[in-house]
Chains A and B, each alone.
Chain A
Amino acid sequence: MKQSSLFQALGAVIKRDLLLAYRQRAELINPLAFFVMVITLFPLALGAEIALLKRIAPAIIWVAALLASLMSIDNLFRADYDDGSLELMVMTPHPLSVLVLAKVTAHWLVSSVPLLFIAPLMGLMLHMDSDVIGVLLLTLLLGMPVLSLIGGIAVALTLGLRKGGALLAILVLPLYVPILIFAGGAVDAAMSGLPISGHTSMMCAILFLAITLTPLPTAAALKMSLS
């Protein structure tokens, strides 16, 4: 009879979103296939220049991951908005910002974690050294959640628009730049045999900042979209 706890609610949101993703597996494949295809096209277009490929491989993988994340982010709240589940989520005694964090977590698990598994294979295909691949993975691990968290704000802001897709990209891409720069810097440093801790520390800081701060504007924007 008693009110569900915040953790129950969090668990329920994550569990439901994972279940929904599992039931709509076909939609999960899209960003993944996009990621693989974009990366595969680069060696074909560049020709037999292994040194050049090796040099730009991390950038290719990062940009592909960023665009794949942008592709899937629009779905974060769209379906909930259309079928009325968002109203239910807002009308709980739990703070909306925390439920938003649960939704973003589920989105990250579903859309970014598979990329983390494929990225090393892509790295090998592009002749990256194994230690550089390790650093690349670390930057993806730290950076991809930030992309989802920042994307969440933009998605919530554009919910009321019928065709928010292009606007979403314009809103979000400038905000993705810092994380891309630090990730590129870390991998660059690793390739030249320099310490990467400066860059990764900055990425950690951005990640924690994003976890604590982005759910608040996202929740506010969601409430606005319902009015």
Chain B
Amino acid sequence: MNANKLEAHRLSCIRDERVLFSELSFTLNSGQVLLIEGANGAGKTSLLRILTGFRKPDTGDLFWNDDALDDAQEFYRDTAYIGHHNGLKDTLTAEENLRYAQALASTALTIDDALEHVGLDGYQQTLVRFMSAGQRRRLALARLLCTRKALWILDEPFTSLDRASIKLFEKFIENHVSQGGLTIMTSHHNTAIPHTLLQKIHL
């Protein structure tokens, strides 16, 4: 994977006349994880939505490999996002959901391999409707594995996952960044990702 860089320059976010954060600058390079911490309502999700380009920062600029994020098409080629919603269709099977995701992006692992990695082997033909909350979350995270994206933006990725799965996903994130990927995530859990890879922002 090429070396990539996400740069935030003096971002601020104002919501309902409350300043959530201001003068926030950081640089995230290939091989790094950015962990965003903060109490409920501190603006973690707002920051992530600014970083995905869904929301414009009230002041400040974002640069992906030195290009301003205004032209998001290039940025989206490299970016995967998992928000509060899983982005899965209840009436499609696990395989159909992943195949759709692949058709919109580029393929990394095959669907079968990705499902096996997240412990959903054998669920290919199961409708998402019949899966538990944790299984859905795992399927959403499987999307990261079967598409090739440099930057992962994850909003509370470990919600409703059991301890073993959380460990597993922290390994995936470590693997991803060790291959030159970047990860931005919010999490309430104490993460086991090595500190050498980690940058933290406390909102």
Interface residues of A (CB under 8 A from B): 1-4, 8-9, 11-13, 16, 19-20, 23-24, 82-85, 87-95, 223, 226-227
Contacts and interface: CB of A to CB of B under 8 A. Distances in A.
Residue among A11, A24, A83 facing the most chain B CB atoms (10 A cut-off): A83
A3 B105 contact: yes
B54 A226 contact: yes
7 contacts: A1-B148, A20-B91, A23-B92, A24-B91, A84-B88, A87-B81, A91-B76
Contact of B83 (A2, A16, A87): A87
B104 interface: yes
B103 A227 contact: no
A227 B54 contact: yes
Nearest to A85: B87
Given A12-B104, A19-B92, A87 B85 contact: yes
A16 B88 CA distance: 12
Interface of B: 49, 52, 54-56, 73-74, 76-77, 79-81, 83-92, 96, 99-108, 148
A29 to B, nearest CB: 16
Given A2-B106, A16-B96, A23-B91, A83 B85 contact: yes
A3 B77 CA distance: 8
Given A84-B87, A91-B76, 17 more contacts: A3-B106, A4-B105, A4-B106, A9-B104, A13-B104, A19-B96, A83-B86, A83-B89, A85-B88, A87-B54, A87-B85, A88-B104, A90-B54, A91-B52, A93-B73, A93-B77, A227-B49
Contacts of A9: 103-104
Contacts of B80: 91
Residue among B55, B89, B96, B99 facing the most chain A CB atoms (10 A cut-off): B89
Nearest 5 Cβ contacts at the A-B interface: A84-B85, A12-B103, A84-B87, A93-B77, A23-B91
B56 A95 contact: no
A223 B84 CA distance: 17
Contacts of B91: 20, 23-24
A85 B104 contact: no
B103 A11 contact: yes
B129 to A, nearest CB: 10
B84 A84 contact: yes
Residue among A9, A19, A89, A91 facing the most chain B CB atoms (10 A cut-off): A91
Contacts of B86: 83-84
Contacts of B102: 4
Contacts of B96: 16, 19
Given A3-B77, A84-B84, A227 B106 contact: no
Contact of A88 (B56, B84, B87): B87
Contacts of A87: 52, 54, 81, 83, 85, 87
Contacts of A91: 52, 76, 79-81
A112 to B, nearest CB: 22
A85 B108 CA distance: 20
Contacts of A93: 73-74, 76-77, 105
Nearest to B84: A84
Contacts of A13: 104
A89 B81 contact: no
Contacts of B88: 83-85
Contacts of B104: 4, 9, 12-13, 88-89, 92, 94
A95 B71 CA distance: 11
A20 B92 contact: yes
B76 A12 contact: no
A77 B80 CA distance: 21
Contacts of B79: 91
A84 B83 contact: yes
B89 A223 contact: no
Nearest to A94: B104
A87 B101 CA distance: 12
